[in-house]
Amino acid sequence: MRRVHGPRPWLIVLAAVSLSGWLALLLGGIGAVAPALCVSGTLPLTPLLTSFELALLFNAPAKLASGWALMWAAMMLPLIAASLRHVRDRSLARRRTAAMLLFATGHAAVWIIAGMVLQLVALSALWAVPAPRAWFTGAVLLALLWQVSPLKQWSLNRCHRRPQLAAFGWRADRDALCFGLGNAIACVGACWALMLVMLLAGPAEPLAMIAVALFAFAERLDTPAALAWRWRGGGKALRLIGAAARDIGSYLLVVTNARISRVSRSSSVLIE
């Protein structure tokens, strides 16, 4: 008899942590990631340097780090599921949990640092020139340019890299950690422009965060491709959605025809 496997426990944990991150961000306020980007509008007479110092006070490094840790848990854990599976499959049973935690730690550390840098860039831009709509438009244009660039594809290709990992001793720990660091650097390269759009979205930041997360997940489904200037992202996801829609449509058509046939037979019996 063929054994049917249920959901793997580590995937359930991954989904639970990601969902907890989303709940913390959305219910606790998205300001956990960008708490003071809109303060400039309330201090029109405050000197630039003083305003910037106040912004840094409201955006203390510890607060920013915790906010980006939540962001990483919510948005990035679904993206690294395949990489975590690679770490798990290449590790001895007794070392799997430690190896996966080392990978995740390295990945999170890179994203927290990168997020704080992006936060500082967005904050500096808005305090230097308080024109949120102009900065948001510029960020969208920059993201579109980056999306079609060969460097974007290079970063995405690196996200799919699956290196050899040592199985024993400190080398196994080193390889798992370095894999997490390298994967995160590639992930930052692929997503930094999208994150900048999210940070400059103002009141629409919750919607922007959800949109960025969905788009990043969709484009990660595509396989590595040659470097070229072209649009990329979401092709495979759209094909999967289209196939699912066709299957659902076919199922509904069959069910509807079956019901019509039963009604017709019942009507015929009553007439007779």
pLDDT digits (tens, 9 = 90+) for 108-128: 999 999 999 999 999 889 888
Compute the average pLDDT of residues 177-201.
97
Residue of 69 and 234 predicted with greater confidence: 69
Mean pLDDT lowest for which of 49-58, 156-165, 181-190? 49-58
What's the pLDDT score for residue 27? 84
How high is the mean pLDDT of the chain?
83
Categorize the per-residue pLDDT at 8 as very low, low, confident or very high, splitting at 50, 70 and 90: confident
Identify residue 217 by its one-letter amino acid code. Answer: F
Compute the average pLDDT of residues 67-88.
95
Residue 28, pLDDT > 90, answer no
Residue of 61 and 93 predicted with greater confidence: 93
What's the pLDDT score for residue 5? 56
Residue 38, pLDDT > 50, answer no
Q: What percent of the chain has pLDDT over 70?
A: 72
Residue of 37 and 102 predicted with greater confidence: 102
In sequence order, which residues have a C-beta less than 8 Å from that of residue 43 and are 6 or more positions away? 51, 54
What's the pLDDT score for residue 81? 96
In sequence order, which residues have a C-beta less than 8 Å from that of residue 67 and are 6 or more positions away? 31, 32, 33, 34, 35, 115
Categorize the per-residue pLDDT at 233 as very low, low, confident or very high, splitting at 50, 70 and 90: confident
Q: Which of 159, 120, 16, 125 has its CA nearest to residue 74?
A: 16
How many whole angstroms separate alpha carbon 26 and alpha carbon 43? 27
The answer to whether residues 216 and 191 touch, using CB atoms and an 8 Å cutoff, is: yes
What's the pLDDT score for residue 211? 95
* The two three-digit tokens of residue 94, written as one number: 């007794």
Q: Is 97 helix (H, G, I), strand (E, B) or coil?
A: helix
Residue 263, pLDDT > 70, answer no
Q: Which of 89, 100, 95 has its CA nearest to residue 17?
A: 100
What's the pLDDT score for residue 22? 95
Sign of CA dihedral 29, 32, 34, 36: positive
Categorize the per-residue pLDDT at 56 as very low, low, confident or very high, splitting at 50, 70 and 90: low
What's the pLDDT score for residue 154? 97
End-to-end Cα separation, the chain, in angstroms: 50
Residue 194, pLDDT > 80, answer yes
Categorize the per-residue pLDDT at 265 as very low, low, confident or very high, splitting at 50, 70 and 90: low
What's the pLDDT score for residue 61? 76
What's the pLDDT score for residue 62? 80
Categorize the per-residue pLDDT at 264 as very low, low, confident or very high, splitting at 50, 70 and 90: low
Residue 57, pLDDT > 70, answer no
